[in-house]
Amino acid sequence: MLMLPMALYAQINTERMMTIARNALYFEDYVLSIQYFNQVINAKPYLFEPYFFRALAKINLDDYQGAEDDCNEAIERNPFVVGAYQIRGLARIRLNKFDDAISDYRAALKYDPENVVLWHNLSLCHIQKKDYETAKDDLGKLLTIAPRYTRAYLIRGEVSLLQKDTVQALQDFDKAIELDRYDADGWGARAVVRIQQGKYKEAESDLDQAIRLSVRNAGNYINRALARFHQNNLRGAMSDYDLALSIDPNNFLGHYNRGILRAQVGDDNRAIEDFDFVLQIEPDNMMATFNRGVLRAQTGDYQGAISDYSKVIEEYPNFMTGYYQRAEARRKMGDLKGAEADEFKIMQMQIDRRNGVSPDQQQNTADNGGQDTDDSSDGKTRKKSDKNMENYRKIVIADDSEMEQRYTSDYRGRVQDRNVVIKLEPMYALTYYEKESEVNHQVHYYKYIDDLNRQKIFPKPLRITNREAPLTEEQVHYHFALTDAHTADIVKDSRDAKARFMRGLDFYLVQDLTSSIEDFTQSILLDDTFFPAYFMRALVRYKQLEYRKAEAAMDGTPTGTTAGSQQDTEMTAIDYETVKGDLDQVIRLAPDFVYGYYNRGNVLSMLKDYRAALADYDKAIELDPNLAEAYFNRGLTHIFLGNNKQGISDLSKAGELGIVSAYNVIKRFTDMPE
């Protein structure tokens, strides 16, 4: 009997540890979640759940071997968990174990035959193995289960293209667009078929739509440039290459083809810059080397030109054009002997050709199986893998192997909406860590928080952000240690509200949300004027609700886990009105704290009290006219109320201030022409 309380305490502690671990996993704090799962495994190594969820964390950290090993352990303990096969299959794909992945997906489908993700990934595995007919068969079964799943049509269309069946591909792409005209990939995929059919004007029109829906997709600009090039719109094509390279500065096709076009319009120096870049990526690219040599000669750099020509001739000793160009450059430099040697070589090659011997053609196409690989109807383009030096002036298009990779990188870990999820920008928090943003570099400031930082009572400066960064392993250990240090301070002075707040913040950072709320509550009881405690308690309660909703809606969660049951009980009394009540106190105590209004606006939106939410976003923007997230959320709220015009105006301002996803939302709520 004396042993019983200790056993019960260990059980409850393990369940709570599992809850905290899953909290951390949900909020993408993967390193921290692994630390908690380790503790559960050490305490109860016979459970399958911690292995399964640790595998999920590892796969998000690109530790595919570790994820596979953990799934092995989970399946050994419970062979009926679909998710374990699914995650192990994904890990095996990343490890190029496609046969093993196929076995996993087939095993999982025995238990869950209508799982869209399983059929999706299974078909992609067959594509990787070039088993196109089986892939199509799998996609057909998937569409029987989910007839409106547009991704299956797009993938099947790509398989048809790999089989040179443009008619079937076009039918699938047309169907994908019919089902979801706001998916940029459908328009982009159909444009590729139309380019292959020589319907360049129609292809450009499709790509216009794709670009409207996905402004950050470099591939769509590359393809539109090709469509424009075929319509002799060289300036438009170069503009598209400029846009593609602003998105993807290392894009090979963008630099190479822009170099070709710049050369055609006489922009020689900038064309050389493009070929310089190509040669940094691929130093052995002889096409780029020769093109740069021609441009160097045209700009008077004969020595550089001769160096490039010589590299090409060394690789292709029967490339007649190379000798001709080098002879001309040598003559202009005064190297008559070298020029005459090149001219003599040209004469020998011409004599051989008259006599029916053409070693130049054999050499130039040796890498292509002895044939010119130019597949284009007008001879303006060549495949990237084409090594026939006679095609050096042609625009480059992607190989079939690159096309094959377009959708095979689209493996799914769980069911998800393909379209960008339209949701509010996240709540603001007080924390020590912030994710870097490539676009929005606004520093959020409030005098009271700055004064706290100047007092140096916190271990690190407090930051106001809604881009919270997950902890590194070192930071995890640091904050575990800080909780002990703050506990010692609290023991010394139990009336210190800020010590309670700091420990609450540490608990929050290590995802122990229940302990965090307890400390923030104690901080409020000790000092009911300290508004940061209300602010953070509201945030943590909000996140608990968000996690609970996600758990309830999760598809395919392993059965038998008890991790969420205690949390559900603890949070029964917590709802959005309680969160709003804390934010009401924040605004009462700090009426100029913009982030209080912003967060309350989010809560009111969750309560579907959109007009009250608009009033809070209005106030937030009044206090800070550059708060991009407030414009974004106000824009969505207007749209929820049917006020699309006002909503789009706000979203435009949000995009201007750095929220790039606003443009995608704008396109979805702007009527598109048929």
CATH of the domain at 619: 1.25.40.10
What pLDDT shows up at residue 422? 73
**How many domains are contained in the chain?**
1
The Cβ of residue 410 has, within 10 Å, a number of other Cβ atoms equal to 15
Classify residue 229: in a domain, yes or no.
no
Residue 653 lies in a domain: yes
Contact 308, 293 (CB under 8 A): yes
Cα four-point dihedral sign 257, 263, 268, 272: positive
In a domain, 616, yes or no: yes
- In this prediction, the residues of the chain whose per-residue pLDDT falls under 70 are 1-12, 357-378, 400-421, 437-441, 553-574, 670-674
108-91-87 Cα angle (round to 5):
40
pLDDT value at residue 663: 76
For the entire predicted model, the pTM comes to: 0.73
Q: Which domain holds residue 457?
A: 430-668
DSSP code of residue 660: T
- What phi and psi, each to the nearest 5 degrees, are found at residue 575? -140, 180
Angstrom distance (rounded) from CA 100 to CA 84: 14
Angle at 387 between CA 331 and CA 254, to 5 degrees: 90
pLDDT reported for residue 375: 45
Q: Please check whether residue 282 lies inside any domain of the structure.
A: no
What dihedral do alpha carbons 543, 547, 552, 558 form, nearest 10°?
Answer: -170
Is residue 378 a part of any domain in this protein? no
Cα–Cα distance, 518 to 540 (Å, whole number): 11
* Contacts made by residues 519-527, CB under 8 angstroms, sequence distance 24+: 522/497, 523/497, 523/498, 524/497, 526/495, 526/496, 526/497, 526/500, 527/497
Please name the residues in contact with 652: beta carbons below 8 A apart, sequence gap of 6 or more.
Answer: 662, 666
Per-residue pLDDT, 441: 60
Do the beta carbons of residue 268 and residue 238 sit within 8 Å? no
Residue 290 belongs to a domain:
no
Say how far apart CA 463 and CA 436 lie, in whole Å: 13
CA 182/CA 342 separation, integer angstroms: 58
Does 581 reside within a domain?
Answer: yes
354 occurs within a structural domain:
no
Alpha-carbon separation of residue 524 from 504, 530, 595 (angstroms): 11, 7, 19
- Residues 602-623: pLDDT tens digits? 999 988 899 999 999 999 999 9
